[in-house]
Amino acid sequence: MALTTQQLDRFHQFAWEQLDAGEAGLSLEKLASRWLAAQQQAETDASIHEAIDQMNAGVGESLDDAMEDIRRRLDLPAERR
């Protein structure tokens, strides 16, 4: 994945925020690791919010239907109730 100018700007801002928060002793590698973890968490949060919005809008399928579809695709026995 190529680094974009926007990503570099966000990393720069993140680095300054870490320094302002008293994290001056961090290595570049540790800082980059924290930034990547924060980016991944933000993507996960956005996906969850999108799924909730879709669910609230009545888009998609129920969890029961999705699990049944997975069981059928994997040739697993039906869930007992």
Instruction: For residue range 11-61, list pLDDT tens digits in order.
Output: 999 999 999 999 888 899 999 999 999 999 999 999 999 989 998 998 888
Query: What is the model's pLDDT at position 78?
Result: 83
Pick the closest to residue 26 from 36, 37, 10, 15 (CA basis): 15
Rounded to whole angstroms, the Cα distance separating 76 from 65 reads: 14
Rounded to whole angstroms, the Cα distance separating 46 from 44 reads: 5
* pTM assigned to the model: 0.64
3-state class of 37 per DSSP?
A: helix
Q: What band does 81 get if pLDDT is binned at 50, 70 and 90? A: low
Give yes or no for a contact between 78 and 72, defined as CB atoms under 8 angstroms apart: no
